[in-house]
A = this chain, B = another copy of it.
Amino acid sequence: MGKEGISRAVIKRLPRYYRYLGELMEAGQERISSGDLSKLMNVTASQIRQDLNNFGGFGQQGYGYNVEYLYNEIGKLLGIDRRHNIIVVGSGHLGQAIANYANFERRGFIVKGMFDKNPEIIGKEIRGIKIMSMEELGDFIKSNRIEIAALTLPKQQAEEIADSLVKYGIKGIWNFAHIDLKLPKDIVVENVHLSESLMRLSYNLTTVEK
């Protein structure tokens, strides 16, 4: 199944398909037509057909999609058919929120350790996950085959720590710090810039009011 050349817009939409298909599956539904899926997800049926065609289709004319099959195939595309070991770097409220979110685990994202530089919280446990000092980062990443680091630090520290993480072998950074990280091209960075999201909300509010 070729993944090259799939547009970012399609990739952005895949997790949403995955979510809806998961809910249909939980509700016991075995098949769905692109028309019904379209109504449910509030996108056009032709968009759905086009999106899923990128991956070879999965559907049959007049028969609809097999929900479980499609769910599993999209899961494979998203790389969540296997486990990903995660660490949380920065164990304030946001880091703790992430460590506490058991739903990530259901999807195969396992938080193996948390880190902070604040001695007052080092040693504490969140859902059985120990908060360690920053000095332990390198060894922990190597001996636990950690692939992803959630970076929930103030932006002043984020750049330097991100560089170290890459040196220690981290492949993907889930970046909550409000900064654009400059890292080697083979490192995957996914940004969650909350204040930018809040500004977009504010922009749209201002526009609606006019």
Contact = CB atoms under 8 A, between A and B. Distances in A.
A197 interface: yes
Given A147-B205, A174-B201, 8 more contacts: A19-B178, A19-B196, A77-B203, A93-B100, A98-B194, A109-B198, A172-B201, A186-B208
9 contacts: A14-B199, A18-B199, A79-B199, A79-B202, A92-B97, A148-B202, A172-B201, A172-B204, A174-B197
A3 B203 CA distance: 10
Interface of A is mostly: helix
CB-based closest 6 A-B pairs: A79-B206, A93-B97, A15-B196, A190-B201, A94-B97, A79-B202
A207 interface: yes
A14 B203 CA distance: 10
A16 B210 CA distance: 24
B207 A3 contact: yes
Contacts of A207: 3
Interface in A168-210: 171-172, 174, 178, 180, 186, 188, 190, 192-210
Given A148-B201, A201-B188, A202-B109, A195 B15 contact: yes
A41 B180 CA distance: 9
A143 interface: no
A103 interface: yes
Interface residues of A, number: 56
Which residue, A147, A171, A206, has most C-beta atoms of chain B within 10 A?
Answer: A206
B203 A197 contact: no
B100 A205 contact: no
Nearest to A108: B202
Contacts of A172: 201-202, 204-205
A145 interface: no
A127 to B, nearest CB: 11
